[in-house]
């Protein structure tokens, strides 16, 4: 219920639109509720004409038919106006919620994305936002007006005959009791069904993302099987849900049928005995008949709203998920004067798995530090800590003496340029991808950056040159080309500090040379940490650090470390094709 009120509060964000939508629906209902009164007038005209035995059409007929027509037309017209404003209104709510969710999603720490699949997050947001629309539409333009309709109809029925009124009023709580009794059973299955659909969406998204791997391992069948098995589970749950719903509907239909049978039976009986007029009977019948549909509808909508609230609740949960990394309230902007970096007694683990253990390290301003070590030794984690994607559990990291936890994340990340081994490009043009780090960059600056990154020649050969769209994640470019665009991006940003993750996969020697040249041009004069795999990179570095199980096991220059005869000298001995393996 708390979430339901929260959804309504959200819907009430634009009060003006809400007011117009509610006002138009109320007017439309007022016309609708009066229609049977005009209908009664028409029947009374027939009754009087029959009594007088004349075939002349009395003037009261024209009045009644004019009223009848006016009420119908006004009801329909206001219904459409209401529909228009309702659409405006719930789209406004969609805009407000989507903005909040998107902004919040971007503010969440990496941890959230590492623990939740893309498909799951996407399904959760899409479903929640759309279902909130449905709830607003259902609650405020259908449930509330229908409820008002039933109350007015019951009031009018009471005025005709108190027995009719009582019958109609008694059927409403019976309907609601049936719904309340069955709802928990339905909701149970809905939860399972939703989990199953999220998994299904996750499988599909993952397959699309990893389609290259799937095809190269020829594992299409395995993924198809997993997909079909999850799909069948989703369908099974949907059928189970519908079966339970049908079971509940049987009880609701019985309640509805009994109400109608009672009123029609008593109505005809009392009309024959002269207790009520034919007009009064048709009036009673019209209101009963027209109330049954809303009643049915309301209980169905209540089920639906409850079902949809589960999805909305999940979006609210996402909105309530706090980012693990937040700016300190007194955070200042990072000011990089020289660019010296210091890790002091750093300890960090993913949950209980300690990955960096009491590590201390200094990178003097303008120097190049190369980190080498076996896979899983904690190299990437260390640089993630520098950008504050995670917070250290012990120890501090400073840049020019400023603790990374005391500066704003925005200024910290603006100060550090990151070039990752798998360069992630957006499905935009080459120029837009280079300018991603500085959207205000002029075309000339983009071209200079591309030239420095040794990317200008291959760009000149692309079909639309700088305007060529690179495909999702840059698939239309080779690995080496993607990396050079990434380097051009970093050159354009020109940050004082650089973090590079060198590619482990080997490229042809020409691309390799072009990338190396571009990288060293980028590095010049900047404090740089490179997660290094190439011997040539390591040999050019000012300091080499060897990491082993989250600790620094060796540190020095290439010649120092070779002389030490430790892990580094072993890596050096078994290097192949210029790579430390």
Among 355, 498, 514, 541, binds ligand ADP (CB under 6 A): 355
Question: Would you give the DSSP letter of residue 323?
Answer: P
- Only one of the segments 57-65, 128-136, 150-158, 373-381 lies at the binding site for ligand ADP (rule: CB under 6 A); that segment is 373-381
Question: What CA–CA distance (Å, rounded) separates 534 from 575?
Answer: 9
Of the pair 314, 384, the CB lying nearest ligand ADP is at: 384
The residues in 113-132 that bind ligand ADP, with binding defined as CB under 6 A, are 114
Of the pair 339, 373, the CB lying nearest ligand ADP is at: 373
- Give the strand pairing for 527-531 and 368-373: parallel
| Token representation of residue 129 | 């936002």
Closest CA to 361 of 580, 564, 547, 558: 547
Of the pair 32, 537, the CB lying nearest ligand ADP is at: 537
Strand partners, 553: none
Collapsed DSSP state (helix, strand, coil) of residue 165? helix
| Token representation of residue 260 | 């109608």
Of the pair 372, 449, the CB lying nearest ligand ADP is at: 372
Question: What CA–CA distance (Å, rounded) separates 487 from 482?
Answer: 9
- Only one of the segments 220-228, 276-284, 369-377, 416-424 lies at the binding site for ligand ADP (rule: CB under 6 A); that segment is 369-377
Q: Least distance to ligand ADP from the beta carbon of 381, Å?
A: 3
- Only one of the segments 271-279, 324-332, 374-382, 391-399 lies at the binding site for ligand ADP (rule: CB under 6 A); that segment is 374-382
Closest CA to 259 of 144, 175, 361, 385: 175
Question: What CA–CA distance (Å, rounded) separates 368 from 258?
Answer: 85
- Only one of the segments 316-324, 378-386, 419-427, 502-510 lies at the binding site for ligand ADP (rule: CB under 6 A); that segment is 378-386
Among 145, 165, 294, 378, binds ligand ADP (CB under 6 A): 378
Of the pair 400, 501, the CB lying nearest ligand ADP is at: 501
Q: Least distance to ligand ADP from the beta carbon of 483, Å?
A: 18
Q: Contact between 109 and ligand ADP (CB under 6 A)?
A: no
Q: Least distance to ligand ADP from the beta carbon of 363, Å?
A: 17
> How many residues bind to ligand ADP according to rule CB under 6 A?
12
Backbone φ, ψ for residue 331 (5° rounding) = -60, 140
The residues in 291-350 that bind ligand ADP, with binding defined as CB under 6 A, are 350
Of the pair 355, 397, the CB lying nearest ligand ADP is at: 355
C-alpha distances in Å from residue 29, one per residue of 5, 78, 146, 148, 291: 25, 9, 8, 8, 12
Q: Within a 13 Å sphere around the CA of 33, how many CA atoms are in the beta-carbon half?
A: 20
Q: Which H helix or E strand runs over 543?
A: strand 543-548
Q: Least distance to ligand ADP from the beta carbon of 387, Å?
A: 13
Of the pair 112, 147, the CB lying nearest ligand ADP is at: 112
- Only one of the segments 120-128, 168-176, 316-324, 376-384 lies at the binding site for ligand ADP (rule: CB under 6 A); that segment is 376-384
Q: Least distance to ligand ADP from the beta carbon of 545, Å?
A: 12
Among 173, 376, 401, 578, binds ligand ADP (CB under 6 A): 376
| Cα maximum dimension of the chain | 125
Question: What CA–CA distance (Å, rounded) separates 517 from 524?
Answer: 11
The residues in 478-507 that bind ligand ADP, with binding defined as CB under 6 A, are none
Q: Contact between 381 and ligand ADP (CB under 6 A)?
A: yes
Of the pair 112, 130, the CB lying nearest ligand ADP is at: 112
For helices 278-320 and 59-107, the axis angle rounded to 10 degrees is: 10
Among 98, 219, 271, 380, binds ligand ADP (CB under 6 A): 380
Closest CA to 497 of 321, 340, 285: 340
| Token representation of residue 410 | 């925005």
Q: Contact between 375 and ligand ADP (CB under 6 A)?
A: yes
Q: Least distance to ligand ADP from the beta carbon of 361, Å?
A: 15
Q: Least distance to ligand ADP from the beta carbon of 382, Å?
A: 7
Closest CA to 343 of 356, 332, 331, 328: 356
Of the pair 371, 399, the CB lying nearest ligand ADP is at: 371
- Long-range contacts for 327-334 (Cβ within 8 Å, ≥24 apart)? 327/408, 327/409, 328/405, 328/406, 330/406, 331/406, 331/407, 331/408, 332/402, 332/406, 332/407, 332/408, 333/407, 333/408, 333/411, 334/399, 334/402, 334/404, 334/407, 334/408, 334/411, 334/412, 334/414, 334/415
Q: Contact between 559 and ligand ADP (CB under 6 A)?
A: no
Question: What CA–CA distance (Å, rounded) separates 526 from 493?
Answer: 12
Q: Least distance to ligand ADP from the beta carbon of 200, Å?
A: 25
Of the pair 356, 518, the CB lying nearest ligand ADP is at: 356
Q: How many residues can be counted in the chain? A: 581
**What DSSP assignment string belongs to 567-580?**
HHHHHHHT-BTTB-
Collapsed DSSP state (helix, strand, coil) of residue 326? coil
Q: Contact between 352 and ligand ADP (CB under 6 A)?
A: no
Q: Least distance to ligand ADP from the beta carbon of 530, Å?
A: 12
Q: Contact between 377 and ligand ADP (CB under 6 A)?
A: yes
Of the pair 356, 498, the CB lying nearest ligand ADP is at: 356
Q: Which residues bind ligand ADP (CB under 6 A)?
A: 114, 350, 353, 355, 373, 375-381
């Amino acid at each position: 219920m708390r979430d339901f009120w929260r959804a309504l509060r959200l819907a009430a964000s634009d009060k003006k639109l809400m007011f117009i939508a509610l006002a138009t629906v109320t007017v439309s209902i007022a016309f609708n509720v009066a229609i049977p009164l005009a209908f009664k007038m028409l029947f009374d005209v027939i009754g009087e004409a029959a009594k007088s035995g004349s075939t002349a059409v009395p003037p009261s007929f024209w009045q009644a038919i004019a009223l009848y027509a006016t009420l119908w037309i006004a009801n329909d017209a206001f219904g459409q106006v209401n529909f228009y404003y309702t659409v405006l209104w719930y789209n406004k709510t969609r805009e407000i919620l989507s903005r909040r969710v998107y902004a919040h999603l971007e503010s969440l720490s990496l941890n959230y994305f590492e623990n939740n699949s893309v498909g799951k997050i996407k399904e959760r947001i899409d479903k929640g936002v759309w279902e909130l629309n449905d709830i607003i539409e259902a609650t405020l333009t259908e449930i509330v007006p229908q409820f008002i309709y039933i109350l007015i109809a019951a009031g009018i029925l009471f005025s005709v005959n108190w027995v009719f009124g009582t019958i109609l009023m008694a059927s409403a709580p019976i309907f609601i009791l049936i719904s309340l009794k069955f709802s928990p059973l339905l909701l149970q299955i809905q939860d399972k069904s939703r989990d199953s659909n999220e998994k299904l969406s996750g499988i599909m998204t993952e397959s699309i993302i990893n389609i290259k791997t799937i095809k190269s391992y020829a594992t299409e069948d395995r993924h198809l099987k997993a997909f079909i098995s999850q799909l069948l589970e989703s369908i099974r749950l949907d059928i189970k849900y519908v079966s339970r719903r049908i079971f509940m509907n049987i009880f609701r239909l019985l309640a509805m049928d009994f109400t109608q049978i009672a009123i029609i039976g008593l109505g005809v009986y009392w009309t024959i005995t002269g207790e009520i007029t034919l007009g009064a009977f048709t009036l009673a019948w019209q209101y009963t008949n027209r109330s049954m549909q809303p009643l049915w509808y309301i209980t169905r909508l209540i089920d639906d709203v409850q079902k949809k609230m589960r999805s909305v609740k999940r979006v609210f949960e996402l909105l309530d998920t706090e980012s693990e990394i937040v700016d300190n309230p007194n955070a200042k902007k990072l000011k990089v004067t020289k660019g010296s970096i210091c890790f002091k007694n750093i300890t960090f683990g993913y949950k209980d798995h300690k990955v960096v253990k009491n590590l201390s390290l200094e990178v003097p301003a303008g120097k190049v530090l190369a980190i080498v070590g076996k896979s899983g030794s904690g190299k990437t984690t260390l640089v993630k800590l520098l950008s504050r994607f995670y917070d250290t559990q012990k120890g501090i990291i400073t840049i020019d003496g400023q603790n990374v936890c005391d500066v704003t994340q925005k200024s910290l990340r603006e100060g550090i340029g990151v070039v990752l081994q798998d360069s992630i490009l957006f499905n935009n043009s080459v120029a837009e991808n280079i300018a991603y780090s500085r959207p205000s960059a002029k075309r000339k600056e983009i071209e200079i950056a591309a030239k420095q990154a040794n990317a200008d020649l291959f760009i000149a050969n692309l079909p639309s040159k700088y305007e060529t769209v690179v495909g999702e994640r840059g698939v239309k470019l080779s690995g080496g080309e993607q990396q050079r665009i990434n380097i051009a991006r970093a050159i354009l940003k020109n940050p004082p500090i650089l973090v590079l993750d060198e590619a482990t996969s080997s490229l042809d020697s020409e691309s390799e040379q072009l990338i190396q040249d571009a990288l060293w041009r980028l590095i010049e004069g900047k404090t740089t940490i490179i997660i290094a795999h190439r011997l040539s990179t390591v040999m050019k570095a000012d300091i080499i650090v060897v990491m082993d199980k989250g600790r620094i096991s060796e540190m020095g220059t290439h010649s120092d470390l070779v002389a030490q005869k430790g892990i580094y000298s072993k890596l050096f001995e078994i290097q192949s094709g210029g790579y430390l393996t």
